[in-house]
Amino acid sequence: AFGPESPRNPTPDFCIQRPRTIYGVSKVHAELLGEYFFHRYGVDFRCLRFPGIISADTKPGGGTTDYAIEIFHEALKAGSYKCYLRGNTRLPMMWIDDCIQSIVDIMEAPDSKLKQRT
């Protein structure tokens, strides 16, 4: 949802959003439409931004979190795994159970407790 002009480490929730991919543009578009329909028509819009979601039960499928799962599958199969990321590389990830719980929590949250919609 951000872009090269956005501040980093950590990126604040409210800052310039000028994504350069259709994926990022779609995310910003959906969030802004949701806010518009909330303010204009009272639609109960709630949105979460997730990092990469990981699960031990799902094999790698071509996403950014693949290496985190591949490490274990390959280590069990071959006895080792060579990761090409630098040791200090950080990629945001979230466990699937925590992801599901966060969705349940925001859907059950009273409207009066929400400070923002995205």
Residue whose C-alpha is closest to residue 101's, from 50, 35, 57, 63 = 50
Contact status, residue 47 vs residue 117, Cβ threshold 8 Å = yes
Residues contacting residue 9 through CB under 8 Å, at least 6 positions apart: none
Task: Catalytic residue, from 23, 36, 67, 81: name it.
Answer: 23
- Report the 10 Å Cβ neighbour count for 2: 19
Catalytic (active site) residue 23:
yes
Kind and range of the H or E element at 77?
Answer: helix 66-78
Catalytic residue ranges? 23
